[in-house]
């Protein structure tokens, strides 16, 4: 959940992304090249002069699909399984974290996940990415709600079925990200709720080990 300074347009079935920062362009292009032909990202159509053009994915965003399925546990589990499968393949090929990750950066196309934002990728712990996504679930659209925590627990169970997370590191990353999003969105920073949620989530991870 980051504010972008880039200019993004749609023309003749292709997304045209003009980067405000040259190194962001270089970084995103590097990942697109690594993922070429895998189906993990849109087809790269052009690059040059700090511009990347890729095919337009005419499919719903993963975030919107999650919101629509908020009361459907089976559908949520399926979507989270699709995402963790995508992430595992991404880590295997790209060897890095997404860093500024948001469920709005993914589309669900033909029952698989496609991602189209890689400019902030860097070497980092996978706990960082998953903490950011967990925070997004917990604070958007119903901050600190029991429903949001239920969905987070489904997500973490799917993550733990495929990855080994360090509970304390995850809890630390989660606290930091929750505080950041609260400030960004103007949500009251309830430290007691944040600490409690972080500890319960760490306990859930420990149960999976």
In tens, the pLDDT along 85-115 reads: 999 999 999 999 999 999 999 999 999 999 9
If you ran DSSP here, which 8-state letter would residue 123 be given? Answer: S
Domain ranges of the chain: 7-55, 62-208
Quick one: DSSP state of residue 53? E
**Whether pLDDT at 150 is above 70:** yes
pLDDT above 70 for 128: yes
pLDDT at 79: 98
The pLDDT of residue 41? 98
Whole-structure pTM value:
0.94
Beta bridge partners of 113: 108
Query: What's residue 209's pLDDT?
Result: 82
C-alpha dihedral over 67, 69, 74, 80, to 10 degrees? Answer: -30
pLDDT digits (tens, 9 = 90+) for 4-29: 689 999 999 999 999 999 999 999 99
Can you read off the two tokens belonging to residue 195?
Answer: 């600490």
Residue 189 has pLDDT above 90, yes or no: no
How confident is the model over 41-91, as pLDDT tens digits? 999 999 999 999 999 999 999 999 999 999 999 999 999 999 999 999 999
What is residue 105's DSSP assignment?
Answer: G
Q: Quickly count: other Cβ atoms within 10 Å of residue 119's Cβ.
A: 24
Task: Give the span between the Cα atoms of 68 and 38, in whole angstroms.
Answer: 28
Q: Check pLDDT > 90 for residue 141.
A: no
Percent of the chain with pLDDT over 90: 93
* pLDDT score of 3 more than 70: no
Where residue 165 falls among pLDDT bands split at 50, 70, 90? very high
Q: What are all long-range contacts of 102-107, with beta carbons under 8 Å and residues at least 24 apart?
A: 102/1, 102/2, 102/63, 102/132, 102/133, 102/136, 103/61, 103/62, 103/63, 103/66, 103/133, 103/136, 103/137, 104/61, 104/62, 104/63, 106/61, 106/62, 106/63, 107/57, 107/59, 107/60, 107/61, 107/62
Q: What is the pLDDT of residue 2?
A: 54
């Amino acid at each position: 959940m980051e504010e972008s300074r880039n200019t993004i347009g749609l023309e003749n079935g292709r997304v045209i992304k003009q980067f405000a920062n040259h190194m962001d362009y270089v970084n995103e292009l590097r990942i697109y090249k690594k993922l070429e032909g895998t189906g993990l990202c849109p087809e790269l159509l052009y690059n040059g002069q700090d511009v990347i053009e890729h095919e337009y994915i005419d499919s719903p965003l993963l975030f919107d699909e999650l919101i629509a399925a908020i009361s459907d546990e089976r559908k949520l589990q399926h979507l989270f399984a699709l995402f963790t499968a995508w992430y595992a393949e991404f880590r295997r090929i790209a060897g890095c974290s997404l860093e500024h990750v948001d469920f709005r950066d993914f589309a669900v196309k033909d029952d698989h996940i496609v991602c189209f934002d890689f400019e902030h990728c860097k070497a980092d712990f996978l706990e960082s990415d998953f903490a950011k996504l967990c925070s997004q679930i917990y604070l958007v659209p119903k901050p600190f709600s029991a429903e949001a925590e239920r969905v987070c627990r489904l997500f973490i169970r799917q993550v733990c079925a495929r990855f080994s997370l360090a509970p304390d590191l995850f809890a630390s990353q989660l606290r930091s990200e929750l505080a950041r999003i609260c400030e960004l969105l103007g949500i009251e920073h309830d430290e007691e709720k944040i600490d409690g949620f972080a500890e319960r989530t760490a306990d859930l991870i420990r149960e999976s080990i």
